[in-house]
Chain A
Amino acid sequence: MLKDKYGKEIEDILSRYPVKRSALLPLLYLAQRDQGYVTESAMKEIAHLLKLTPPQVYETITFYTMFNLKPIGKFHLQVCKSLMCALVGSDTLFGWINAKLGIAPGETTADGLFSLSAVECLAACGTGPMMQINDDYYEQLTEDKLDRIVADLRSTGTSPLKSGPFMWPEAMESADRPSS
Chain B
Amino acid sequence: MPKHELILLKNMMQPGYTGSLVDYEKTGGYQALRKTLGKIAPADVTAMVRKSGLRGRGGAGFPTGVKWGFLPKDYQGPRYLCCNADESEPGTFKDRQLMERDPHQVLEGIVLSCYAIGAETAFIYIRGEMVLGSKILEHAIAEARAAGYIGKNILGTGIHADVWVHRGAGAYICGEETALLESLEGKRGLPRTKPPFPATHGLYNKPTVVNNVETLANLPHIMTRGPEWFAAIGSPPKSTGTRVFCVSGHVKRPGNYEVPMGITVRELVYEHAGGMRSDKPIKAFIPGGASAPFLTPAHLDVKLDFEHVALAGSMLGSGGVTVMEEGTSMVWAALRLMEFFYHESCGKCSPCREGSSWLVQTLRRILAKRGRMEDLETLLDLCKNIAGRTVCAFGDAEVAPIQSTLKYWRQEYVDLINEAEAANLIKLEPVGRH
Which residues in A have some Cβ–Cβ distance to B below 8 Å?
Answer: 16, 18-26, 28-29, 50, 59-60, 63-67, 81-84, 86-88, 119-128, 132, 135-137, 163-166, 168-169, 172, 179
State which of A29, A64, A123, A135 has its C-beta within 8 Å of the C-beta of B171. A64
A82 touches B336 (CB 8 A): yes
Whether A23 touches B320, Cβ cut-off 8 Å, given contacts A82-B340, A84-B248, A126-B93, is no
Q: Given the complex of chains A and B, what is the CA–CA distance between A111 and B121 in angstroms?
A: 47
Per-position 1/0 for B175-215, Cβ under 8 A of A: 00000000111111100000000000000100000000000
A126 touches B255 (CB 8 A): yes
Q: Given the complex of chains A and B, what is the CA–CA distance between A105 and B130 in angstroms?
A: 22
Q: Closest residue of chain A to B86, judged by CB?
A: A123
Inside 8 A of A65's CB, which chain B residues have their CB?
169-171
Query: Would you give 13 A-B contacts (Cβ < 8 Å), ordered by A?
Result: A16-B164, A20-B186, A21-B186, A22-B185, A28-B169, A83-B333, A84-B322, A125-B320, A135-B132, A166-B100, A168-B97, A168-B255, A179-B278
Inside 8 A of A16's CB, which chain B residues have their CB?
164
Q: Given the complex of chains A and B, what is the CA–CA distance between A123 and B183 in angstroms?
A: 20
Q: Given the complex of chains A and B, what is the CA–CA distance between A135 and B132 in angstroms?
A: 8
State which of B132, B164, B171 has its C-beta within 8 Å of the C-beta of A137. B132
Q: Given the complex of chains A and B, what is the CA–CA distance between A122 and B133 in angstroms?
A: 13
Whether A64 touches B169, Cβ cut-off 8 Å, given contacts A123-B130, A164-B132, is yes
B141 to chain A, nearest CB (A): 11
Inside 8 A of A20's CB, which chain B residues have their CB?
186
Which residues in B have some Cβ–Cβ distance to A below 8 Å?
Answer: 19, 78, 87-93, 95-97, 100-101, 121, 127-132, 136, 164, 166-172, 183-189, 204, 246-250, 253-256, 278, 290, 320, 322, 324, 328, 333, 336-337, 339-340, 343-344, 346
Whether A127 touches B254, Cβ cut-off 8 Å, given contacts A26-B167, A165-B100, is yes
Q: Is the interface of B mostly helix, strand, loop or mixed?
A: mixed
Inside 8 A of B93's CB, which chain A residues have their CB?
123-127, 166
Inside 8 A of A120's CB, which chain B residues have their CB?
90, 172, 340, 343-344
B249 touches A169 (CB 8 A): no
Inside 8 A of B92's CB, which chain A residues have their CB?
123, 125
B322 touches A125 (CB 8 A): yes
State which of B189, B247, B249, B290 has its C-beta within 8 Å of the C-beta of A88. B249
B240 to chain A, nearest CB (A): 25
A63 touches B254 (CB 8 A): no
Q: Given the complex of chains A and B, what is the CA–CA distance between A64 and B168 in angstroms?
A: 8
The 8 lowest CB-CB distance pairs between A and B, nearest first, are A64-B169, A24-B186, A21-B186, A65-B170, A66-B170, A125-B248, A165-B100, A126-B254
Whether A125 touches B90, Cβ cut-off 8 Å, given contacts A23-B186, A165-B100, is yes
